[in-house]
A and B are shown apart, each in its own frame.
Chain A
Amino acid sequence: MAIDLTRFLPMFFEETEEHLANMETQLLRLDPNAPDPEALHSIFRAAHSVKGNSALLGAARFSEVMHRIESILDRIRKEQLKPDNDVITLLLEACDVVREQAGRLKDKGECDEAALDALHERLRRFTPAETSAPAPSSLPAPARRSERFSIEVDLPSGQGITGLPLANLYAELGALGRLEDVRTDGTTSLSLILLTAQSTDVVRDKLHGLLGAQSVRVTPYVAPPKLAEQPPPAGSASEFGLFSDEVSLAQTTGMLSERGFGRRAIDHEATGILGRRVTDRLHLDRSSIRVDVAKLDRLLNLVGELVIAQSMLSEAATRGARDARLRDSVAYVGRQTRELQEAVMGIRLLPIDYLFSRVPRLVRDLARRLGKEVELITHGAETELDKEMIEKLADPIMHLVRNSLDHGIEAPVVRAAAGKEKVGKIQLRATHQAGGVVIEILDDGAGFDRERILAKAIERGMPAHPGMSDEEVWQFVFAPGFTTAEELSDISGRGVGMDVVKRNIRALGGHIEVRSRPGAGVHIVLRLPLTLAILDGMTVEIAGETFIVPLSLIAEAFLPQSYQVKTVTTGARVVQVRDAYLPLLSTDQLLGLKGKTTTQAAIAIAVDVDGRRAALLVDRLLGQQQVVIKSLEANYRRIPGIAGATVLGNGRVALILDINALLHLEIPTSGGQDLEAALGAA
């Protein structure tokens, strides 16, 4: 039984996290008066998996704690214990402690045993019947001769192989003995051959613990029957011989297995089918294939190169070849390449549920602490966007929800007095719109207090006056350090406020809109690109080089006429655009580029970064295109004014301008103050 357990460690941590998240989600949904047995079972199974894994890896403290949790769940299941608020809170906190300690174990290689002991003690109070935890799930092996068992598992219908905790299964069975063979058709059954010294009962128990309701058969292994002895497949497929069957089977497994086609014939193709099935179902269940992001990036790079190679090929083909077939083939390759690129980009996309599912816990804890009653409604949790984006959105969204709960939703008494329902509503909505993602956070609370925001803004010396429109007033909440909270609570109003949210959303290439009606609540709209890896850009020429300007920041492009341009101080010019004066900046000078510039025929691009406007001079507009953003910093230091780089269709590198940073750069020759003055005046 030479099995190296340490290689399961990363999987253990990831799975533990997944199971805990699953437990949390289910616990939050549990109705204290009528707990759903299915949900209870799911929580139980998750707890059991963590327990089993912990025991296997020798983390006895974890398995003890999980065992206690199981006992409590068992009592709830047997209706000996009512899952009231206290019980649920305890279980949720237990999840927190386990998660935290698993994190410590991962980072520092040790965990705070006192914390786990304390938790254990607290959990024990709810399980009075038991005196001590029985030994963790792996049983001592009696001295026995190893035998082979054949294990057949029926897969959950509709979910197939993705419905099983496979990694767990392999790990636990691996601990019992040696897994010699694993076969599946991906949809109906999984068969394993296990060489073990354990008895049939031990194996069966282990499987029941892991798979619960799933039907499992454990039988002594019998050598496979010869080909001729195979049960004849239903239908006439057998006449065509095994090989041709396999080819068609690979494409139509689902259909054939519905017809009751034998499993054995398709085993040969099982791996291939399995791989495809699992990726297909990525968005349906939580199970997935874990791939290092670096591998995805490499794939993305390779496909990017393929696109370049393809465009070279297509250029050569359209120029030289008169052969229509060649042109058709090249066009075909082109379409396939683009499709491939899209598909590869798609791998990085995950459902936003990964983020939304974290919100219920926050809302529950906060509402309890604030003595408010809140119902959380989420829509469009299946909306997909870039994984990195989801991670970076977590803080801003949590912050906005926290704000809604703390400042928006009123206390039940206040709500009742205002004639509203006692229970407040917070809605989270995600939708795909115009090639991007829109995330909305709505509450039915009190809405922004216009007078208070105005008063606060005036108090802080901001350019505020009573005649401003609502939209203008709401913009003040995005000012750094702005808060109307009278006293700082540890929930919100800690200074890290809406300005940080806005900055984070900006950094993701998105923007934020706020709507508010007094008494009816606040509606916040976040508009974001689908991915961080692609940018809609305008390609421009500056000093003989090609640069990319993010399209989302461009207001307009125009040919500045001499009468529009005024010199304010030496080196600082402004250009009149309708009724506004924008600072006119020579991009080549800002960047310190040495090259020929033709300022006479230059084109001005009016940009708007968070309300800060300016006009950038460029030599030529080359066009618009989507570009794949690449890091310059991977192999070179940061350059002020440059956000990154991309590879153009001809294989050359083009730099992406960091407009926000550019507006803050000082022109080396003229004074920076002049520029600041001009910007202030605009």
Chain B
Amino acid sequence: MQDFSLTAARNSAPSAALREFLTFRLGHEDYAIDILTVQEIRMFESVTKLPSTPDYIKGVINLRGVIAPVIDLRVKFGFEKAEYGPFTVLVVLRVSERLAAVVVDAVADVVALTDEQIKPPPELGTGVNIEYVMGLGTRAEQMLILLDIEKLITSRELGIFDEELTAAH
């Protein structure tokens, strides 16, 4: 299920100042995460619900024999609509040696950004999720919200992993 553009992008000549990001859509916005945290991209499949978990934890799926949680970032970010359509996909992440899948509306592309193309996040006061935004990127007149996905996934706020792991970050 590996996206081909993903491998192609990885094979391109690496440059010291270039970082590669996987871009995807959540609601009406374009987000991007560090490609190195992405293990694979899968079609959305039905999940097994977990008891006593927050809304944004959709449940667990079977990843070739390994059980991994599924997080709906749209619910977590408080978007009005969190629908499951033909483009809804699961981005499987490997973070701190653990696996987790996030639901996104559509995967767009892999982009390489230079440091100059990444702007620090704006001062938005104490916005709920601003601490997980690494910066803003621009590409072809388009704004990308760069998520610090590792920080988000391992955050105590999300509560996916047990304390001892979240405490380490």
Contacts and interface: CB of A to CB of B under 8 A. Distances in A.
B60 interface: yes
Given A591-B52, A652-B46, A634 B66 contact: yes
B162 A633 contact: yes
B161 interface: yes
A304 B65 contact: yes
A302 B50 CA distance: 24
Nearest to A632: B67
A332 interface: no
Contact of B52 (A546, A592, A653): A592
A546 B53 CA distance: 17
Interface in B141-162: 159-162
Nearest to B64: A305
Contacts of A401: none
A593 B65 contact: no
A653 B60 contact: yes
B48 interface: yes
B160 A637 contact: yes
Nearest to A304: B65
Interface stretch (A472-480, A608-616, A641-649): A641-649
Contacts of B62: 647, 651-653
A645 B60 contact: yes
Interface string A591-610: 11101000000000000000
A653 B98 contact: no
A656 B162 CA distance: 19
Given A635-B69, A636-B161, A637-B162, A653 B64 contact: no
Contact of B67 (A545, A595, A636): A636
B51 A642 contact: yes
A636 B66 contact: no
Interface string B40-67: 0000001111111100000111101111
Interface in A288-325: 300-302, 304-305
B99 interface: yes
B67 A641 contact: no
Nearest to B50: A639
A630 interface: yes
A302 B53 contact: no
Contacts of A305: 64-65
Interface in A148-166: none
A530 B62 CA distance: 25
Max chain B C-beta neighbours (<10 A), residue from A301, A302, A634, A653 = A653
A436 interface: no
Interface in B89-135: 98-100
B68 interface: yes
A409 interface: no
Nearest to B60: A653
B48 A630 contact: no
A466 interface: no
Given A633-B162, A636-B161, A637-B161, A652 B48 contact: yes
A631 interface: yes
A632 B161 contact: no
B61 A653 contact: yes
Contacts of A301: 64-66
B99 A641 contact: no
B48 A636 contact: no
A545 B49 contact: yes
Contacts of A633: 162
Nearest to B159: A637
A632 B60 contact: yes
A510 B147 CA distance: 48
A591 B53 CA distance: 10
B52 A635 contact: no
B75 to A, nearest CB: 14
Given A652-B46, A655-B50, A634 B67 contact: yes
26 contacts: A301-B66, A302-B64, A304-B65, A545-B48, A591-B52, A593-B49, A630-B66, A630-B67, A632-B67, A635-B100, A636-B50, A636-B60, A636-B68, A636-B69, A637-B161, A638-B162, A639-B50, A639-B51, A639-B53, A642-B50, A645-B60, A647-B67, A652-B48, A653-B60, A653-B61, A655-B50
Interface of B: 46-53, 59-62, 64-69, 98-100, 159-162
Closest 4 CB pairs of A and B: A301-B65, A591-B51, A653-B48, A592-B52
